[in-house]
Every structure is written in structure tokens, then in C-alpha cells.
Amino acid sequence: MTKHTKLLFSISFIAILGVNPIACSKAFKGCGEASEKLARESGPNLGRETENAANKAAKKLAEEEAEATRRLTTEEVRPIEISPESKNAADAGRSNTLSQNSDGSYNYNKKRYISFEQIPFENSDNLYLKDGLTQRQANHLIERGVKFVFNNSAYLKQKDKSFRVIYLISDNIPTVMKLYEIDEANAKTLVANSSVSFNNDKIIKVSSFDDMIIKQNEILDKNEVPILIFHNSVKQITLDRFNSESNLITCNSFEVNPKSFLVSTDLLDMTAIIEGVNSSYLNKTLESFYNHFTSSYYAYMLQRNQNFTLIYLSSGVGVAGGIGAIAYYNKKT
Amino acid sequence: MVKLFGDTIAETKRILEASVHAGGEQVTKEDKNKVIGRIIVTCLMIFLAAYLFTSGSKEIGGTIVGAVVGYWMK
């Protein structure tokens, strides 16, 4: 074996050694998160979940108050003000409410953070915010893998309401190409995915924004909450026609309707949305719908990322093996 | 922000993993075909370089490896 062949083998070997731990750790982390989600989703009943969440939130509030008292007495830092949002969270049976103190710091998961960027959010958290998001905050959430956050006041107002989903889609390929700004191949895939599902009265398909507005108003008249699924590349004049009570499932909805119950921080995968809606539309209330929807969305994306990791890993091994085979047989001949 | 390196890898990864989104710029089938073509050509070049290395044409093999690495580092 020549010196150069040995060098090539060494480089390939080191590359594979380097890739393996990264891929394996990602896969293990993913499996852990998936099991955690499954366990959470398959809990005995929603009532018990809510009760547990209420207990946790109440416990969190008590700990926050104890922490504030302790800091006040020891004068370590400036006093922490327990925000009304934290109290509301405990009342409503939630955890992970982000509250901002008078000195600009944040309280999150029983800890105090000086800046938003220091908070180690996780996508498994149900994060409730008092105000809308800034682009800087959204960027940090994207980095942490958080695609959805909840608006506190909309939550308190709409959590127990019934809902209906309005999905902007058509069986006509050119219409879908225009609505979602995609090419023909992607339009066909989207139509195929959408035609398999969504055959029930809880989900209404419309093929234009005008129809969407009409259906939205009908649903609002019945005192239900419309959830609109669409591609967000529409003009502002169209967005202005949406009612502020409507919920939007579209990319970067924190820019469109920051006061909506559910707000997205990033681009949203349409297949994951379809999967999420399919697995959650049977829920009675908006709160339970969103809990299942976000879990399903993250689970789908996690599975997808794991598949890509495996593809990258096997491709790397294949290339290294190919180089090795070429070197081996070339030397033999 | 302008990056000195990593654009090719980042772009390839983004397009390979992209699907239809509910907003933003969409990735077309043509884009996907281009990045798959780019990966196939790279593999062929690496295999050719490996062959040349082991058959004695180290200079040409080294040039090909350098070009491929440079393309992906860009």
C-alpha cells in the first residue's frame, strides 16, 4: 500500500469516526425526545394532564415567590417581581409561561435570565408569551428549535372554544401552484397529500382567499374559532380581511397576527401541518387541538431529521468504502 | 451576513431537506435535481481522484481533490 493510499484511508477513517458520534448522539437524543412525547401524548386522560399541569404551575409560582423572597433578603440581585402572567398561568393550569420583570430580566422554568437569548428553550416546552415576538427573539427561538409559541391573552380567551379548520387548497394543480408559489411537481404532491385526508366537517377546503373570508365569517357567527391554513405570500390587504379572532397556521405568523393563540416563529412544513391537523382535529377545544397539533408536528419533523441523518451517514460510509475499494483493486492489478 | 466558507454545503443541505412550506421561497424540483447532480459529480470526481492516486498520477489526483474540496468549502 502506497503512502498516499494510506493517507486517504486515514482521512476517510477519521471522517467516519467524526461523523458517527455526531449522528449517533443526534439519533439517541431524538429517540429520547420521541419517547417523552409519546408518553405525554398517551397519558390516561386530558383531565389528569390538566390537573398535573395545574399542580406544576402552582408549584412553580410558589417557588418563584420563595426565590424572590430569598433574593430580597440576601440582596443578591434586584428584586424579582412575580408577574400577573405567572399567576394566571398557575390558575389556568399551565407551565412554562415566560414573564418579564420590571428590570428587563425574564423568569422561565423557575429560573431568572438577564436576556432573552440566554433562555434555553426547548421545543417540547409549551411556551406562553404576554406580548408579540420581535425578529431577534424569533431568531433565538428558531435556533432552539421552537417553532410555535402561544399568546397568553388569546389563550385565556379562546382555550375552551370550539374550532374549525379552513384549509386553502384546490384539486386544480395550476391553482395550487399559484396559491403556494410552487412548481408542478410539488403542487401534485401537496394535492395528493391533502386529498387523502381532510374528509370531514371539521375541516373546510377552500380554493380562494375570498372563499376563506366567507367561511371565516360563518364560523365566527357560530361562536367558533376559525383556524386558517394558507401560504403567507399574500398581500397585506388580504391579510387585513382576516378577523383578529382567527387563528393562522402559516409561516412566521408572529409577523402577521402576533395576538393569535398559536404563533409560528419560522417556516412551516406543509406535510407536517397536514399530519398535525389530521391527528388533532377530533379534539373538542382549541387548547387540546393545539397541544396535539404541536406534538404531532415536532414528532414528524424529528422523524424526518433522523432519516436525513441516516442518509448522510450511509452516504459517507458508501463514499469511503468506494474509495477504499478503488484503492484496493487498483493496487492489486 | 457574508460568510467566507460553507455556502455550498449549507445551500445543498437546505435544498435537500426542504419541502413545501406555508410561506417563504419554495424549493423547486429543478433545484433538488441540481444539488443531487452536484453530489453525484462530486462522488465521481473523488473516485477518479482515488484511482489516479493509486495508479501513480498523484499530481492530477491531487488537483481534482483540491478542486472538489475548494468547491465544497466555498
pLDDT tens string, chain A, 333 residues long: the values are 555 666 566 666 555 555 555 554 554 455 445 444 444 444 333 333 444 544 555 555 556 545 544 443 333 333 333 344 444 444 444 557 777 888 888 888 778 888 888 888 887 777 888 777 888 888 899 888 888 988 888 888 898 999 999 999 988 999 999 889 888 988 998 898 887 666 678 899 999 999 999 999 999 999 999 999 998 877 777 788 888 889 999 888 888 888 888 888 888 888 899 999 988 988 999 999 999 999 999 999 999 999 999 999 999 999 999 999 998 888 766
Answer yes or no: do B54 and A308 touch at CB < 8 A.
no
Residue B62 sits in which domain range?
7-73
Q: Which of A90, A121, A156 is the last residue of a domain?
A: A156
Q: Which of A124, A156, A188 is the last residue of a domain?
A: A156
Contacts 24+ apart (CB under 8 A), A115-124: A116/A140, A120/A144, A121/A145, A121/A146, A122/A146, A123/A147, A123/A298, A124/A33, A124/A36, A124/A37, A124/A298
Answer yes or no: do A323 and B47 touch at CB < 8 A.
yes
Q: Strand A148-151's sheet: what is its strand order?
A: A128-129, A148-151, A262-264
Q: Which residue among A8, A189, A251 sits closest to B24, beta carbon to beta carbon?
A: A251
The verdict on A329 and A182 lying in the same domain is yes
- Number of structural domains (chain A) is 2
Please state, in angstroms and rounded to a whole number, the distance separating the CA atoms of residues A317 and A16: 7
Number of inter-chain CB pairs under 8 A, A vs B: 94
Q: Show the DSSP H helices in chain A as ranges.
A: 3-41, 46-74, 84-92, 135-143, 152-158, 173-180, 184-196, 209-221, 236-239, 253-256, 270-280, 286-332
The verdict on A169 and A244 lying in the same domain is yes
- Number of residues that this document lists for chain B: 74
The verdict on A117 and A255 lying in the same domain is no
B1 lies in some domain: no
- Number of structural domains (chain B) is 1
The verdict on A177 and A315 lying in the same domain is yes
The verdict on A136 and A16 lying in the same domain is no
Which chain A residues are closer than 8 Å to B25 by Cβ? 181
DSSP string across A18-85: HHHHHHHHHHHHHHHHHHHHHHHHT-S-HHHHHHHHHHHHHHHHHHHHHHHHHHHHHTSSSPPPPPHH
Alpha-carbon radius of gyration of chain B = 16
Q: Which residue among B19, B21, B50 sits closest to A323, beta carbon to beta carbon?
A: B50
Which chain A residues are closer than 8 Å to B22 by Cβ? 180, 229-232, 249-251, 267-268, 270, 273
Answer yes or no: do A319 and B23 touch at CB < 8 A.
no
Please state, in angstroms and rounded to a whole number, the distance separating the CA atoms of residues A149 and A119: 14
Answer yes or no: do A250 and B22 touch at CB < 8 A.
yes
The verdict on A56 and A126 lying in the same domain is yes
Residue in B closest to A178 by C-alpha: B26
B43 lies in some domain: yes
The verdict on A177 and A215 lying in the same domain is yes
A-interface mutation test, from B54, B63, B68, B69, most A Cβ less than 10 A away: B54
Residue in A closest to B49 by C-alpha: A323
The verdict on A306 and A189 lying in the same domain is yes
The predicted pLDDT at position A308 comes to: 92
The predicted pLDDT at position A84 comes to: 46
The predicted pLDDT at position A212 comes to: 92
Residue A144 sits in which domain range?
46-156
B33 lies in some domain: yes
Its ipTM equals: 0.83
The verdict on A252 and A301 lying in the same domain is yes
B47 lies in some domain: yes
Give which of A21, A9, A13, A19 is closest to A313, Cα–Cα.
A19
